[in-house]
Amino acid sequence: MTPAGNPGSGKDWPEALCTPVRHLPDHSHLRIALSGGMDSVLLLHVATWLYAHSGQISAVHINHQLQPNADQTERFCRSICRQLGVPLDSHRVTVSGRESSDIGASGGGIEEAARNARYQVFEEILAPGELLLMAHHGDDQAETVLFRLLRGTGMAGLGGMPVTRPLGAGRLYRPLLDFSRAELHGWAVQHGIEWMEDPSNIDERFDRNFLRTSIFPLLKSRWPSLISRMGHTAHSCREGGELAAKLAEIHFKQCAGPSGELCLSALGALSLAEQKNLLRWWARYFRYQPPAIADWPQVLEDFL
């Protein structure tokens, strides 16, 4: 699909913002993940301006039914899509544990449950050849990296969110990761974009909100280039994680049995770091949950 500006949209979007949305992986249909927030509404406007002529663009909204204005936000998304002439696929989900108060630093809670419910819908609806655009930006990336660091993670976790990855039968793509929230907000205001605010975004009981509202403003005041620096760190860690995965594949070929099981004698011949790397890769490859960092001594003792 080849993009071209749509004069009927009445907007003249900056080239810096259009460029990453123009250069997308090959796809047969483009879906925009539309939450109703500033970043996703901005992405919808730009993608519509570039691709609406093709007739192969639509939006998808997930109503988690968690916030007082959830239904109002869904109606807003329907309204903005009607204005832009973009079909909207809206889904209501019931988030597991929505009544729980476990929303703090315990490592997941309702935030993670909502994310899992959202991505489950995305996986179910994406058809082969379809591309889902998500509006995550540089601040989101920095928050993800710091959040994972505080929870305890390895190199793969510090790699943050990838620009693209398979999702269901289709693919996910994040074209706005190189922009800060402030840059996107400036463009949205400049072009008169309207959006809905999620009232939970100011609730600091949620880990990410605490980082966003209390921690990152302080860090940015000391290190103004924090977001870009953390983006570079995430990119470097992701490259390191990719190299570690390739090494694990090599070791897997050396240590694997006929059904994919690991030969313990061959595994024991590897260094401790190589053993951990292979076991992490092996667990993910066969869709098991990799052990937590604190559990590695017991895991290796059980294996070897």
Domain at 81, CATH number: 3.40.50.620
- Do the domain assignments include residue 231? no
Per-residue pLDDT reduced to its tens digit, 101-119: 444 444 457 888 899 999 9
| Confidence check: pLDDT of 234 > 50 | yes
- Do the domain assignments include residue 144? yes
Whole-angstrom Cα distance, residue 170 to residue 172? 7
Judged by average pLDDT, the poorest of 28-32, 59-63, 147-151 is: 147-151
Q: In terms of domains, do 183 and 247 share one? A: no
Q: In terms of domains, do 200 and 242 share one? A: no
Of 193, 221, 249, the one marking the end of a domain is: 221
Q: In terms of domains, do 172 and 267 share one? A: no
The count of structural domains within the chain is: 2
Most confident of 16-20, 49-53, 209-213, 296-300: 16-20
Report DSSP letters for 20-74, one per residue. HHHS----SEEEEE--SSHHHHHHHHHHHHHHGGGT-EEEEEEE-S-STTHHHHH
Q: In terms of domains, do 15 and 65 share one? A: yes
Q: In terms of domains, do 247 and 213 share one? A: no
Average pLDDT over residues 135-156: 92
Q: In terms of domains, do 277 and 210 share one? A: no
Q: In terms of domains, do 197 and 286 share one? A: no
Confidence tier at 100 by pLDDT (50, 70, 90): very low
Whole-angstrom Cα distance, residue 115 to residue 72? 20
Closest-CA residue to 272 (of 243, 234, 299):
299
Question: What is the pLDDT of the chain when averaged over all its residues?
Answer: 88
- Do the domain assignments include residue 299? yes
- Do the domain assignments include residue 83? yes
pLDDT of residue 4: 42
Range of the domain at 115: 7-221
